[in-house]
Copies of this chain bind each other. A is one copy, B any other.
């Protein structure tokens, strides 16, 4: 995620980092080239005058508006739903930690309580690693007893196994008399919600927007842009390349942003900062349970928070 202050309107026009301009520059230069050539040859191809006017482009505009508007909304909804799921993860782990601290028969600083809070922290990290296809080994071994860490690491659905482990913790506390039945079920309700969060993240990660939409959007956007010079050259003369590149910029840039936020758990510039989010969860749970705080992270430089 890009974290950067908003400047005044004038300076915003020249922002480089945080815009997608670097990424689409080659395509824009190609478009500039094509439209300059078209202008130079007066909108002809091999001596055939191309009889395009602006009229068909306002017809194209209809489908373009539908595709872009739709795809953009859908992608942003995916991004925001991903963020909501990680927000809910923070809320629920906090609630479970609070419950472990105040509803169980254990004193707030009992090792059992601390183990439970560590399970919650490990759960958050494991979910992040699952979504980004990275290895959770380091985080699991840092937080859990060795044999548990090893078991979890071998599983295919790691966060789900950690949930089962929490269930076993509850059973243990219940059997040893530190938790009565109704209280155990109050914890269990929150475990159900964690289960919903895992499943929600898996849903977003495994089911993209139907592939065909992407193909169609791409084709519409790029054919539109590369046909546009023929349509404008008659009336716009030497200004054609400038206008074409400007219009092309807005469409291609939107197409590029969409491509990033569509898969919100990745590592691109505009994706969700899962790293920062799981660190926040860990910090908040540690504060709640009076566990030793995390070492302070070095102040991040640059604009990208991952």
Interface residues of A (CB under 8 A from B): 1-4, 6, 9, 12-13, 15, 18-20, 27, 48, 50-70, 72-74, 76, 79, 83-84, 87-88, 90-92, 94-95, 98-99, 101-103, 155-157, 160-161, 163-164, 167-168, 170-171, 180-186, 188-192, 195-196, 198-200, 202-203, 207, 210-216, 218-220, 222-223, 228, 232, 235-239, 243, 246-247, 249-251, 253-255, 257, 259-261, 269-270, 272, 283-284, 287-288, 303
Known: A91-B199, A195-B91. A214 touches B52 (CB 8 A): no
Contact B57 A270 (CB under 8 A): no
CB atoms of B61 and A59 under 8 A apart: yes
List, in ascending order, chain B residues with CB within 8 A of A192's CB.
Answer: 91, 95, 190
CA of A161 to CA of B239, assembled, Å: 62
Measured between beta carbons, the chain B residues less than 8 angstroms from A161 are: 287-288
CB atoms of A218 and B74 under 8 A apart? no
Q: Which residues on B sit within 8 Å (CB–CB) of A183?
A: 181, 185
List, in ascending order, chain B residues with CB within 8 A of A94's CB: 160, 163, 195, 198-199
With A160-B284, A167-B101 as known contacts, state yes or no: A202 contacts B87, CB within 8 Å: yes
Nearest chain B residue, comparing its CB with the CB of A23: B212
A210-B90 contact, Cβ under 8 Å, with A74-B76, A98-B191, A215-B19 = no
Q: Beyond A52-B236, A232-B56, is A257–B213 a contact (Cβ under 8 Å)?
A: yes
- A9 pairs with B54, CB closer than 8 A: no
Cβ-defined contact, A95 with B212, below 8 A: no
Contact of A235 among B55, B157, B214, B246 (CB under 8 A): B55
Chain B residues with CB below 8 A from A72, complex form:
66, 70
The residue in A9, A62, A72 that gathers the most chain B C-beta atoms within 10 A of its C-beta is A62
CA–CA, A155 and B98, complex, Å: 16
Across the interface, do B288 and A160 meet the contact criterion of CB distance under 8 Å? yes
